[in-house]
Amino acid sequence: MGFEQDYKGLQDYYEARRLNTRIHVIQVLFGAVLVLYLFAFWYLQIVKVDYYRRLSDNNRLRRVTIKPLRGVITDAEHRVLANNRVAFNVRLDREKVTDMKTFFPRLAGILEMPESTLRDRIARYRGRPVFEPVVLKEDVDLAEAAYIESRRLELRGLSVEVESRRNYLYGPLAAHALGYVGEVSEDQIKTDPSGEYELGEIVGKDGVERQYDEDLKGDKGWKQVVVNSLGREIQEIEAGRKPDPGRALRLSLDLDLQRALEAAYADEAGSAVFLDPASGAILAIISRPAYDPNVFAHRFSQDIWGGLVNDPRRPLQNRVSMSKFAPGSVFKIVMSIAALEDGIATPARGDHCTGTWRFGEKVYQCWAVRKGGHGYLTMREAIIQSCNIYFYHLGNDMGIDRISKWAHRFGFGEPTGVDLPHEESGTVPDPDWKRRTVLRDPIWHPGETISVSIGQGALEVTPIQMAMFAAAIGNGGTLYRPHLLLSREVREGIEEDERQDHVIRRVELRPRTLEVIRDAMWGVVNEDGTGGRAKIAGRDICAKTGTAQVFRASRDIDADKLPKDKRDHAWFVGFAPKDNPRIAWAVFVQNGGHGGTTAAPIARAVLERFFQKLDSRQGVQQLASVAVPQ
């Protein structure tokens, strides 16, 4: 062996050793990483096992809400006004359809719907999990549901789903009072403090449905299910909780009176409320134009909804409590009471009406100006004839502060607290109010007092305030909060009356004042006054008409020939009978012209039905007392 070879051998030896060392390094490196992983598994699976177990359970377990049935709404005599009915929806399970192309034409034929509509509805579910069924047609009738069920084999994926749906038995009857239901808005979900609302949940949107949603909606039930990563239910694992149905509500409404009222309104716009002067319980309530609340229960009602919202006649507005109008001559009752109580005038105060009165630079007219005025009048005659000149003078003597004080006492200018959402306060103007709100002309002018004296000017009231006022005159001065809720079902079959005291306040009135006012209001209807069309023999109906000006007609224009939307609003507000009144009301007809012409007959129709029922009930009671001798 030569040196070179030895050297080479030595080099080989060192090279082999180095190689060996490097291999060893790699071995250690891999070993170290494996040990690191061992600790990683130990940490995740042994140390943090509880944490990850919980996350794993949260992943696969879902709480599924079971919707409760909504509470039934009935009238005072337990006649159902709103309940729930079974609805059939046609659904498509997209997963089961293999060939959409040939499927669509057949589907369109069977459902009798255009293909384009079907495609649109399916397109809306693009991006949603494929097992989520698409509702193609809502609320089909039983025959169609049966027909589709019978053809299921032929059309795989098509099925009929049964759903509970709100049902208003009489459609638009008392629509604004009952309200309607709909899917909860995202806003509501965010702002609700209880945080109980879920997307897609049905809640009350207006009227009683909204006001008493808490009672009506019931308690949701739930079940626990195992779901996969797509959210599809794999199995149910716990019993969960059954849903509790909502409470049944009994309203003070009387379906018979309500129907009479609906019929009497015919095509007129406006609103009316009839209530019990001894409690404030609302017996009948209407707002026109109305809508059918059933349409809101549909999923595909966008166009109907848009039509209602954009309708210039504003059918969604509840004109009983959400709209305010000038009270017109009805306010003369407030004027009279204020004058009598504050000692400004006695019932004997006389005045002379020539048809016009110059005050400052302006000439104020009486509606009787064309026949040369009313001549000499006392207070009673001024109310019966609804003379403007008499009350101009009275208002001028009294001053705006007194008028405002008494209007406020009777609840004008503040919400009555009726159990309906979004109530309007109305306006009772006075110098202070004007300074605060009318910034371009903050000074109170004496002429404004004159306008307010006959219920015009900035004065605005709601029909519900007017009805409460009429009831107060009838019952001797007590303001009862108007309300619809009579009782609610606490447990199945057990009702609990509303124990709430509905008295807002008692306005102290001298008996003499009440006597004069009631007598004058009796005269309005029974003594050839402005409300003669409401007269029912033997019923002693007391009322006051009112006309709220919409368009200032000059002396030469015949008001009856004006276009309908320029005509005045008509009021007819009162109570009956004169002694121990059983019913009070405010009837308002939008653009109805004179109160006595259009509003009085509507009240009369309802009152006839009311007294007819009262008589038969009393007859039964008499019979009962005869049949059971003491």
Q: Is 52 in the site for another protein (CB under 8 A)?
A: yes
Q: Is 46 in the site for another protein (CB under 8 A)?
A: yes
Identify residues 233-252 at the interface with another protein (CB under 8 A): 234
Residue among 30, 300, 376, 551 that touches another protein (CB under 8 A):
30
CB-based burial label for 571 (10 Å; 0-12, 13-18, 19+)? buried
Q: Is 27 in the site for another protein (CB under 8 A)?
A: yes
Q: How far apart (Å, rounded) are the C-alpha atoms in residues 271 and 137?
A: 36
Find out whether 383 and 530 touch, Cβ atoms under 8 Å. Answer: no
Smallest distance from another protein to CB 18, Å: 6
Smallest distance from another protein to CB 305, Å: 33
Query: Given the complex with another protein, which of 225 and 472 has the nearer CB atom?
Result: 225
Beta bridge partners of 452: none
Residue among 15, 77, 214, 238 that touches another protein (CB under 8 A):
15
Smallest distance from another protein to CB 50, Å: 9
Q: Is 49 in the site for another protein (CB under 8 A)?
A: yes
> Two tokens at 507?
């306005």
Q: Is 51 in the site for another protein (CB under 8 A)?
A: yes
Smallest distance from another protein to CB 44, Å: 4
Q: Is 63 in the site for another protein (CB under 8 A)?
A: no
Residue among 10, 33, 503, 557 that touches another protein (CB under 8 A):
33
Per CB under 8 A, the segment of 16-24, 465-473, 545-553, 616-624 that binds another protein is: 16-24
Q: How far apart (Å, rounded) are the C-alpha atoms in residues 9 and 42?
A: 49
Find out whether 462 and 324 touch, Cβ atoms under 8 Å. Answer: yes
Concatenate the DSSP letters of all residues of 310-353 into one string: H-TT-TTS-TTTS--B--GGGHHHHHHHHHHHTTS--TT--EEE
Concatenate the DSSP letters of all residues of 127-188 into one string: TS-TTSPEEEEEEE-HHHHHHHHHTTTTSTTEEEEEEEEEEETTTTTTHHHH--EEEPPHHH
Q: How far apart (Å, rounded) are the C-alpha atoms in residues 245 and 195?
A: 19
Q: Is 12 in the site for another protein (CB under 8 A)?
A: yes
Residue among 9, 31, 171, 307 that touches another protein (CB under 8 A):
31
Which residues are within 8 A (CB) of 451 and not within 5 positions of it... i.e. 6 or more apart? 457, 459
Residue among 6, 7, 17, 56 that touches another protein (CB under 8 A):
56
Q: Is 18 in the site for another protein (CB under 8 A)?
A: yes
CB-based burial label for 33 (10 Å; 0-12, 13-18, 19+)? exposed
Residue among 17, 60, 299, 408 that touches another protein (CB under 8 A):
60
Q: Which 8-state DSSP code applies to residue 97?
A: -
Residue among 10, 11, 171, 617 that touches another protein (CB under 8 A):
11
Number of residues that bind another protein (CB under 8 A): 40
Q: How far apart (Å, rounded) are the C-alpha atoms in residues 431 and 445?
A: 9
Beta-strand pair 73-74/249-251: parallel
Q: Is 13 in the site for another protein (CB under 8 A)?
A: no
Binding mask 531-550 for another protein (x = CB under 8 A): --------------------
Identify residues 191-230 at the interface with another protein (CB under 8 A): 226-230
Q: Is 36 in the site for another protein (CB under 8 A)?
A: yes
> Two tokens at 578?
């004169």
Q: Is 41 in the site for another protein (CB under 8 A)?
A: yes
Q: How far apart (Å, rounded) are the C-alpha atoms in residues 595 and 572?
A: 6
Query: Given the complex with another protein, which of 32 and 123 has the nearer CB atom?
Result: 32
Q: Is 34 in the site for another protein (CB under 8 A)?
A: yes
Q: Tell me, rounded to whole angstroms, the distance of Cα 366 from its chain centroid.
A: 39
Binding residues for another protein (CB under 8 A): 11-12, 15, 18-20, 22-27, 30-31, 33-34, 36-38, 40-42, 44-46, 48-49, 51-53, 55-56, 59-60, 226-230, 234
